[in-house]
A and B are shown apart, each in its own frame.
Chain A
Amino acid sequence: DGGITQSPKYLFRKEGQNVTLSCEQNLNHDAMYWYRQDPGQGLRLIYYSQIVNDFQKGDIAEGYSVSREKKESFPLTVTSAQKNPTAFYLCASRGGPKNIQYFGAGTRLSVL
């Protein structure tokens, strides 16, 4: 099946801990994105990548880091510097002739 796989579905972070959210796509898309969604709120862009080995900060990058070593993978690390990490995290990729953006199922991160 083609699509975007995010793991884990649920994640708990302890105080001072870094955690990494996985995002893998097999759609052969060049562009990948990470969004954060708080309850009842819209999507906020954290980081995006247009191509392998390149990425840019979005609107709320502080306390997060990413890497793009492979076209298929765009992991997001929530660092201890992110003081309010509890949210729903969505990974997306975009490409194809119609330039459609698709989303993964999301990871829900909570703080212990």
Chain B
Amino acid sequence: QKEVEQNSGPLSVPEGAIASLNCTYSDRVSQSFFWYRQYSGKSPELIMSIYSNGDKEDGRFTAQLNKASQYVSLLIRDSQPSDSATYLCAVIGNTGFQKLVFGTGTRLLVSP
């Protein structure tokens, strides 16, 4: 079992719709969770971080964390063609020095 799992996609949504990206993780002691966006040929950029159960909203983005079920999701409201990218979920534990563990990413395609 992979430590962080994401559906590779592509996830196709029409412009204006809500895109829902999901991620599950295996390490129960994980405490910090991140979503990165990576455009083709570019480096990943952080778009959201979440540390406690519940929802965290930032503009059109909402991160949702459920530690009991070991999943974290990212919702993108009013999706735009410029949101088309690969979204990487990353997780870090809470014991000593922990490397950030990345999922392989979900490719999102937003059609005009």
B1 within 8 A of A: no
Which of B44, B51, B105 has the most A CB atoms < 10 Å from its CB? Answer: B44
Indicate whether A106 sits within 8 Å of B46 (C-beta atoms), given known contacts A42-B105, A45-B99, A99-B32: no
Give the secondary structure class of A's interface: strand
Inter-chain contact A50/B34, CB cutoff 8 Å: no
Distance between Cα atoms of A103 and B97 in the complex (Å): 19
A102 touches which one: B46, B102, B103, B104 (CB < 8 A)? Answer: B46
Task: Kindly state the interface size class of chain A when it binds its partner.
Answer: 20 to 34
* Interface residues of B, count at CB 8 A: 21
Chain B interface (Cβ < 8 Å from any Cβ of A): 32, 34, 36, 41-46, 49, 51, 88, 90, 92, 97, 99-100, 102-105
Total inter-chain residue pairs, C-beta < 8 Å: 42
Chain A residues closer than 8 Å to B43, beta-carbon distance: 90, 103-106
Output the least CB separation between A27 and chain B (Å): 13
Which residues of chain A have a CB within 8 Å of any CB of chain B? 31, 33, 41-43, 45, 48, 50, 58, 88, 90, 94, 98-106
